[in-house]
Structure 1
Amino acid sequence: MPESAGPLLEAIAQLSTAPLTEIAQRLHQATRPYLDSTALVIFTEDCTGRPQKKSGTESVISQVSIAELDAVRSFLDGHETWQGRAPIGGQEHPVLALPSPTNALLVLVDPRPAAGQDAPEQDAPGQVADLTGQDVPWVVNYLWNLAAERIREKVADAPPSYLIESRAASAERVRVTAELVDRHSTTLETLLAALRSPALADDAARKSATDVAAKALVELRTLNDRTTELVEEPVATAFQRLREDLRPLTHFSGIDVQFIEPPVNGRALPGEVAHAARAIVRGLVLAMVEQPEVRRIRTQWDCDGENLLINVRDDGMGNLSTDAPSIARMAQRVEVLDGRMTMDLMQGWGADIAVTLPLDPPGRKLPDAAAWDLGERELEVLQQLAAGQRNRTIAAKLHLSENTVKFHLRNIYRKLGATSRTEAIAMAHSSGLH
């Protein structure tokens, strides 16, 4: 093996085993020997809790928004790559965008040839060299596609803790966005009413201001709709993705896998429910395929307005074991989402498995803030956390060190029974802390 191949093979190994929380950092590190960048952002709708995965300059990755990434995605328009200038993190940057077969998007901010690589000619001083098309190193595309597939794989096999955190993050994002929409919509609608008043004299000024306000209102509503789309998936779309996931199995196994379509107008599924449902059905189908004498498997989805109803049935001999590890894992996924799974084994006729997944989070009685027994300083830290402040900002406002803030946060999580920062914020808001 050539010595130069060693670092690439190591990078591939690191990406192939990367946890979701480290995928952006590892991809950024892996691509730098071939194409350097100030920041790297992955935008994937597979992760409802964390659609953005970021690495690089903090001033960029801390401010980048879904709306900005959506705008970059629109520039691709079917192309293999796109390079240009676009707002990222509130400021315009040179950007290189790469799509993937999984529909994830990779955005490289301030891309430039790595040291030792041949740089294409620049059109003007200060302009980033054109790296689109054939100039993008093939290895960068390869590493990106590997990372995108790893993300989809990890989400499909997400542990219960990820599903819980994803649901909490999704709910919190919707709540915050809804508050912003309500506040700014009222302001803009009031502005429009005033500017449209016939009592105002300057027609040209009124028309100009009206156009600006109307455009801002449309953009705000669009952002709200886009955020909702990220945490919800139409049931028919979710089912179609399941069919695509199982297509290789139906093609190569020789088993007839039948799909009974859900109603097209059924209620949209929360993102974590859609992902879990696909993973559960895939797991059940694979368990059934491993049995002898199975020729046909039928899977059906339906909605009753409150639950996603899943049925998977085979025509085997009814020997599927309820104690099998694969079935136990699926049962655990169902339990995490407060669902139910029943299995009816009919000797000589096959297995019939029914799964019910609630579309709304289970009601959770949260204690009053007083019941958490927080100290005065802990309560101050929690209030700052609930206001959306980062650790560094909290430390500055309360005249503490960041290590002390982290110490207080650990105690807060323990007292609240929270498993993540997002869940602690959600609990604080539910108890009236803002």
Structure 2
Amino acid sequence: MGSVQIAPGERIADAAASVPLTSAPVDPIALLRGLVDVMGGPPTSTARRFSSLVAPLVAHSAVIVLAADTGGGQRQGAGDATFAHGVSFIELDRLRRELAPGSVRRAPVEVGEGSVPSLQVVSANGVLLLLSRPHDDGPDDVVLALWNVVALHLQETADAASPDYLQQARASSGVRMEALTELADEYSTTLETVLAALRSTSLDDRGARRTATGIAAEGLVHLRTASDRVRTFTEEPVATAFERLRDDLRPLVRYRDIDVQFVEPPVNGRALPSEIAHGARAVVRGSILALVDRHDVSRVRVQWDCDGTNLLINVRDDGPGDLTGESVQLLLVRQRVVALNGRLSFEATPGWGTEMSVVMPLDPPTALAAESPAWELGPREAEVLELLIAGQRNREIATQLGISENTVKFHVAKIFRKLGVRSRAEATAFVLAHRPGMSRR
């Protein structure tokens, strides 16, 4: 069974040209049109569209897609709901780990209490595809090649996503919540089994204790393994994330006269949530893109660090020192930092270059979404209030949100009126008193 690999620097157009056509009766024009349809549709419909694309090649009853990316993982399903929604996250992650990137195999997958035949495909960039009950005869190599193209497109779409995409991913991660739910179920099952052994009338006290101890020990090992899988799927070691950044930047600077120097992060730094790792790479890429086409910049230094609470990013160039946080070239960079609740600052020295510093919190902010409807706050007012209660002044809020200081004052006045308060201190006290989980006095 053949396989098609996509090199790290290869783009979609190059990958598409490498799709092999076998002797299977497939109309190549229809295949390409179907591929365009998959890639032209919204990412949320990828599973359904890809299922329709490969159905003439390999008949199947359902499809599952699992990608580890911005939102801590994205899962989609289409077709037979028993399969599409019945395979556990832990089982999917096990399959993704067993298969090497850029490979395909046919093997059963556990669904509920039984197993179902499946075609298992992992793209060159690590996105898992499952087809349930595949037809016996099918060009699996073509399915792999098509999936390589689609998976690379998904990655590029996420890389170019708007800051809102990062903000939504930061607020919640479907796969992460699903994984945690499964872990809770595993924990509950282990406890119930231990209790059943202790209450059993067929065991004496010593036998019941021995059985319960064995069940508990086995359960703990299983839970630790599952927890580690969840963590490594939804988080990324800082050193690994930085290495991916280096890979991303190579094509950008390959044919430009600019030297990008990398200062390695500590290998034992805290792992990054996937949306932070993705957002940080997007911020640095955007910064480099703003610099590479300037003839007066010949060297850029990129450094990451982690203080246990924040990811610290530093980008320094040797240009004329005229870039600021208000520069048009850095508008998207600024928006991405704000979307992740980060802080962006610049220090420019005329004739010596510009230094950009970014601080990104690793833990998600306490969302105001639950309170906003009751307080009738708009999205921008909620953002201003979040920064206000964090102790930031109007000028700092204006810089973070990319708006004028007068606009901040306008929002603050409206917030005070809606909350029925007269000062920042009262607003902070009001919010802390009414947030879920806070004690009310």
1:348/1:191 Cα in 2 relative to 1: closer, same or farther (>3 Å)? farther
Match of 1:314 among 311, 314, 317: 317
- When structure 1 is superposed on structure 2, of 362-371 and 352-361 the one drifting more is 362-371
Which SS does the other structure have where 1:55 is aligned? Answer: strand
Residue 255 of structure 1: CA displacement?
A: 2.1
Residue 57 of structure 1: CA displacement?
A: 1.5
Aligned position for 1:107: 130
Does 1:97 pair with 2:120? yes
Aligned position for 1:218: 221
1:58/1:88 Cα in 2 relative to 1: closer, same or farther (>3 Å)? same
Aligned position for 1:45: 68
State whether residues 62 and 89 of structure 1, in contact with CA within 8 Å, keep that contact through their aligned partners in structure 2: no
Instruction: Please give the residue correspondences for 1:106-255 in structure 2 after superposition, counting only pairs within 5 Å.
Output: 106-112=129-135, 129=136, 131=138, 135-138=139-142, 140-170=143-173, 172-173=177-178, 176=181, 179-180=184-185, 183-184=188-189, 186-187=191-192, 199-200=204-205, 214-255=217-258
Q: Deviations over 1:284-316 (max 9, x none)?
A: 111110111322111001112221110111122
Match of 2:349 among 346, 350, 365: 346
Aligned position for 1:379: none
* Paired-residue identity, %: 38
State whether residues 334 and 340 of structure 1, in contact with CA within 8 Å, keep that contact through their aligned partners in structure 2: yes
Match of 2:265 among 253, 262, 267: 262
Residue 272 of structure 1: CA displacement?
A: 1.1
1:94/1:187 Cα in 2 relative to 1: closer, same or farther (>3 Å)? same
Q: Deviations over 1:22-48 (max 9, x none)?
A: 222221122122222211112211143
Match of 2:31 among 8, 19, 32: 8
- When structure 1 is superposed on structure 2, of 318-327 and 49-58 the one drifting more is 318-327
CA distance in 2, matches of 1:192, 1:232: 36
Aligned position for 2:59: 36
1:326/1:109 Cα in 2 relative to 1: closer, same or farther (>3 Å)? farther
Which amino acid is 1:157 matched to? Answer: A
State whether residues 260 and 298 of structure 1, in contact with CA within 8 Å, keep that contact through their aligned partners in structure 2: yes
Which SS does the other structure have where 1:111 is aligned? Answer: coil
Q: Deviations over 1:310-359 (max 9, x none)?
A: 01111223344655544101101111111111223333322221111111
Does 1:65 pair with 2:69? no
Aligned position for 2:282: 279
State whether residues 100 and 148 of structure 1, in contact with CA within 8 Å, keep that contact through their aligned partners in structure 2: yes
Which SS does the other structure have where 1:351 is aligned? Answer: strand
CA distance in 2, matches of 1:254, 1:90: 59
1:15/1:79 Cα in 2 relative to 1: closer, same or farther (>3 Å)? closer
1:340/1:202 Cα in 2 relative to 1: closer, same or farther (>3 Å)? closer
Does 1:302 pair with 2:305? yes
1:88/1:319 Cα in 2 relative to 1: closer, same or farther (>3 Å)? farther
1:105/1:315 Cα in 2 relative to 1: closer, same or farther (>3 Å)? same
State whether residues 343 and 351 of structure 1, in contact with CA within 8 Å, keep that contact through their aligned partners in structure 2: yes
Residue 76 of structure 1: CA displacement?
A: 2.7
Match of 1:85 among 94, 108, 118: 108
Which SS does the other structure have where 2:103 is aligned? Answer: coil
State whether residues 71 and 166 of structure 2, in contact with CA within 8 Å, keep that contact through their aligned partners in structure 1: no
State whether residues 101 and 123 of structure 2, in contact with CA within 8 Å, keep that contact through their aligned partners in structure 1: no
State whether residues 50 and 166 of structure 1, in contact with CA within 8 Å, keep that contact through their aligned partners in structure 2: no
RMSD of the TM alignment (CA)?
Answer: 3.5
CA distance in 2, matches of 1:39, 1:110: 8
State whether residues 34 and 137 of structure 1, in contact with CA within 8 Å, keep that contact through their aligned partners in structure 2: no
1:172/1:137 Cα in 2 relative to 1: closer, same or farther (>3 Å)? closer
State whether residues 316 and 353 of structure 2, in contact with CA within 8 Å, keep that contact through their aligned partners in structure 1: yes
Instruction: Please give the residue correspondences for 1:394-433 in structure 2 after superposition, counting only pairs within 5 Å.
Output: 430=436
CA distance in 2, matches of 1:55, 1:154: 21
CA distance in 2, matches of 1:257, 1:189: 57
1:326/1:189 Cα in 2 relative to 1: closer, same or farther (>3 Å)? farther
Residue 275 of structure 1: CA displacement?
A: 0.8
1:63/1:289 Cα in 2 relative to 1: closer, same or farther (>3 Å)? same
Residue 89 of structure 1: CA displacement?
A: 5.6
1:255/1:85 Cα in 2 relative to 1: closer, same or farther (>3 Å)? same
State whether residues 73 and 105 of structure 1, in contact with CA within 8 Å, keep that contact through their aligned partners in structure 2: yes
CA distance in 2, matches of 1:14, 1:36: 19
Q: What's the TM-score once normalised by structure 1's chain length?
A: 0.71
Aligned position for 1:425: none
The answer for unaligned runs of 5 or more in structure 2 is 1-25, 377-434
CA distance in 2, matches of 1:106, 1:313: 41
Which SS does the other structure have where 1:102 is aligned? Answer: coil
Q: Deviations over 1:367-412 (max 9, x none)?
A: 6799589xxxxxxxxxxxxxxxxxxxxxxxxxxxxxxxxxxxxxxx
Aligned position for 2:425: none
The answer for unaligned runs of 5 or more in structure 1 is 113-128, 374-428
State whether residues 85 and 95 of structure 1, in contact with CA within 8 Å, keep that contact through their aligned partners in structure 2: yes
1:33/1:372 Cα in 2 relative to 1: closer, same or farther (>3 Å)? farther
Does 1:19 pair with 2:42? yes
